[in-house]
Amino acid sequence: MREMQFTAIALMALLTLKLLLLPVKVTNNGVMNRSRWLMLGATVVVGVQFLLQYIFRLREYGVTQAVMLNLSLLIPATVLLSFALLCLQRRLEPRDIYIGVSTWLLTLALLTFAVVTDGQPLLSDTPERRLAERVASVCFAFTQFYHAWRHLTNLKAMHDALSNYYDRDMDGVLRWMKFSIFFLPVVGLFIPLIVFFQGPWLAVFSLVILGGVFFLIDGFCSYVVSTSPARMQEAEDEGEGDDGHSVMMEDLRKTADSERRASMPLDTENLRRVDRAVEQWVSLGQYRNNGLKLPQVADELNVPRYLLTGWLRSQHLKYADWMNSLRVDEAKRVMREHPEWNNEAIAQHCGFCDRSYFLRKFKEATGMSPNEYTAIHTT
């Protein structure tokens, strides 16, 4: 156990250093820099927790003594990780902070009250302290599940924003965030349990959680230096990178206004207007241009963006799904008329970003590969 604690201390020190050495493009961005400092705080707290366990050998005194320290420090660490994700999603709200901080303060109050009222030395194991630890663990689990609900709600909104802006699936943009959102509720479920364990099971669960923390923070470092945050922000508000809270809130307000307009049912006149524009645009094969974003298509159709978004909603389609459908239909036509074309040429002609993406979307739409489709329709 002491070897694992020492390894955890060294690992947290390395992750802290990595967060501190992120490039200027991260530190100059208000949202990403705030998320970085929240991640940094969580890393330092986890490192301190393992350092104190290592120095004072609390597990040798008993489970209760170690649990008191774990709850006192692991709760703020996981809350800070949740805050960092919410901040990165640009959706950290006062209620999130209130619930997270309140849980930690309640835990400290419960543990302090138990220590003061039982009249025993600090490192004693008493029924009052065990009860306080169990109550604090339950509160911690509920807090983590609340934050998980917030993350999942935000993730869906972010996924919808990507699907209604880019002409292809952009799941890779949110891959790291999906893992993080899955990991945090698992921590919220298992930490209140494993802190009471001893022996091999404690070591196994601790290694799993330590590995998850490493992947979360290391993945955060990779995410913020990639183009994914910029793509995500562009899809959500089409604004320039924010450098302050007021700009961010203004961007979100504009996005909300646009979403409200798009969610309103279109009248018959506007539906017909978009129908005519889409029919003409499709007949010209404009959808075969790769990299089309929704605002660009709205300009080519000569309709406001919210009208195009509302029209897609009336068709129960997302923009990316619509573009994929048009391109798959074009691919079917090409394969019937030009069975000699290879998949690379078909993908390029139809506007797919690459061959592998074309193969995947064609299989999803038809249930067969392009070669199987060609064999059936040319015999």
* CATH code of residue 104: 1.20.1070
- On whether the CB atoms of residues 89 and 81 are closer than 8 A, the answer is no
Residues 154 and 184: their CA atoms lie apart, in Å, by 15
Please check whether residue 99 lies inside any domain of the structure: yes
Please check whether residue 299 lies inside any domain of the structure: yes
Low-confidence winner among 60-64, 120-124, 358-362 (lowest mean pLDDT): 60-64
User: Burial letters for 10-40: b for 16+ Cβ neighbours within 10 Å, e otherwise?
Assistant: ebbeebbebbeebeeebeebbbbbbbbbbbb
Q: 29 and 128 in one domain?
A: yes
Please check whether residue 100 lies inside any domain of the structure: yes
Comparing 170 with 261, the larger pLDDT belongs to 170
Q: 324 and 197 in one domain?
A: no
Q: 157 and 41 in one domain?
A: yes
Please check whether residue 258 lies inside any domain of the structure: no
Q: How many CB atoms lie within 10 A of CB 3?
A: 9
Q: What is the pLDDT of residues 50-104, one digit of tens each?
A: 898 888 876 655 556 677 888 898 899 999 999 999 999 999 999 999 999 999 9
Say what the pLDDT of residue 121 is.
77
Comparing 79 with 124, the larger pLDDT belongs to 79
Please check whether residue 250 lies inside any domain of the structure: no
Q: 172 and 61 in one domain?
A: yes
Q: What is the mean pLDDT of residues 196-204?
A: 68
Please check whether residue 128 lies inside any domain of the structure: yes
Domain boundary among 220, 237, 254: 237
Q: What is the mean pLDDT of residues 152-157?
A: 93
Inter-helix orientation angle 245-263/30-56, to 10°: 110
Whether 249 shows a pLDDT value over 50: the answer reads no
Q: What is the pLDDT of residues 295-330, one digit of tens each?
A: 999 999 999 999 999 999 999 999 999 999 999 999
Q: 62 and 7 in one domain?
A: yes
Q: 233 and 107 in one domain?
A: yes
Q: 305 and 189 in one domain?
A: no
Please check whether residue 304 lies inside any domain of the structure: yes
Residues 70 and 65: their CA atoms lie apart, in Å, by 9
Residues 159 and 169: their CA atoms lie apart, in Å, by 9
Q: 123 and 77 in one domain?
A: yes
Q: 318 and 192 in one domain?
A: no
Q: 311 and 210 in one domain?
A: no
Q: What is the pLDDT of residues 267-289, one digit of tens each?
A: 888 899 999 999 999 999 999 99
Say what the pLDDT of residue 191 is.
66
CATH number for 303: 1.10.10.60
Q: 223 and 100 in one domain?
A: yes
Query: Domain total for the chain?
Result: 2
Whether 250 shows a pLDDT value over 70: the answer reads no
Range of the domain at 41: 2-237
Q: What is the CA radius of gyration of the chain?
A: 26
Q: What global pTM score does this model have?
A: 0.84
Q: 280 and 213 in one domain?
A: no
Low-confidence winner among 6-10, 65-69, 78-82, 173-177 (lowest mean pLDDT): 65-69
Q: What is the mean pLDDT of residues 250-266?
A: 51
- On whether the CB atoms of residues 105 and 69 are closer than 8 A, the answer is no
